[in-house]
């Protein structure tokens, strides 16, 4: 991994689900992610990655989960278990604080907001692939929440579509140490081209 490989015009940051419900005290999922997030410094590392990417002149893509609305899955034939739980708890509820961006991750002019994904993949049933291609992106750096769900599924989908995938192991979190381990030590190496720490990434981009 070297700076010449991550050409800014060809590299995009996928910032997945930077919602209050995940990242802010009082968020509906914050407490479940907090032990792992605190152990690796997720919030500080996310801020550092975003800042480094912006400084390098790379495009930032917000990859948001569907914002829940009451009974929005009521007539679905096959909602998944996670979808049902999220709908019941109204996680990332539309129009509510939990479904707003964390204060440290407010979109800036020029950022791209991707259509909301319904399950774990930022690509499935969204315009992410189209937008990446329109911006000339063929390498993606994926950070955000959660390591073993939306990050992993989005990363796998990206690899299937031919993108070079970089994961940042401490700019994400999970609901357990076991899930975090599986995401980076077991599953990640089967699809990701590079798995780095925040400091390793910043050293390259800088």
Q: What percent of the chain has pLDDT over 70?
A: 99
String of DSSP letters for 125-182: TSSHHHHHHHTT--EEEEEEE-IIIIIHHHHHHHHHTT-EEEEEEEEEE-SSHHHHHI
Segment 8-19, tens digit of pLDDT: 999 999 999 999
Q: Which CATH superfamily is domain 8-205 in?
A: Isochorismatase-like (3.40.50.850)
Domain assignments of the chain as residue spans, ordered by start: 8-205
Name the band, by pLDDT with cuts 50, 70 and 90, for residue 1. low
CA distance readout (Å), 113 to 35, 64, 183, 206: 29, 8, 25, 25
Segment 20-41, tens digit of pLDDT: 999 999 999 999 999 999 999 9
pTM summary value: 0.97
Q: Average pLDDT in the 93-98 region? A: 98
Other Cβ atoms within 10 Å of 70 Cβ, number: 10
Average pLDDT value over all residues in the chain: 97
Q: Residue 201's closest CA among 151, 166, 152? A: 166
Given a contact cutoff of 8 angstroms between Cβ atoms, the answer to whether 60 and 68 are in contact is no
pLDDT number for residue 206? 85
Q: Check whether 95 has a pLDDT greater than 80.
A: yes
């Amino acid at each position: 991994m070297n700076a010449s490989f991550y050409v800014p015009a060809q590299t995009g940051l996928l910032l997945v689900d930077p919602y209050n419900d995940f990242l802010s005290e009082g968020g509906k999922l914050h407490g479940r992610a907090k032990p792992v997030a605190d152990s690796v410094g997720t919030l500080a590392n996310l801020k550092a990655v975003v800042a480094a990417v912006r400084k390098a002149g790379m495009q930032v893509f917000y990859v948001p989960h569907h914002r829940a609305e009451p009974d929005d899955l009521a007539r679905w034939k096959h909602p998944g278990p996670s979808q049902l739980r999220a709908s019941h708890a109204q996680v990332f509820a539309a129009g509510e604080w939990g479904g707003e961006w964390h204060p440290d991750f407010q979109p800036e002019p020029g950022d791209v907001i991707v259509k909301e994904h319904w399950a774990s993949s930022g690509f499935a049933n969204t315009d992410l692939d189209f937008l990446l291609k329109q911006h000339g992106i063929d390498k993606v750096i994926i950070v955000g929440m959660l390591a073993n769900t939306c990050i992993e599924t989005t990363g796998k989908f990206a690899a299937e579509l031919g993108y070079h995938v970089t994961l940042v192991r401490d700019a994400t979190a999970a609901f357990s140490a076991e899930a975090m381990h599986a995401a980076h030590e077991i599953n990640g190496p089967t699809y990701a081209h590079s798995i780095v720490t925040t400091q390793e990434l910043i050293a390259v981009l800088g």
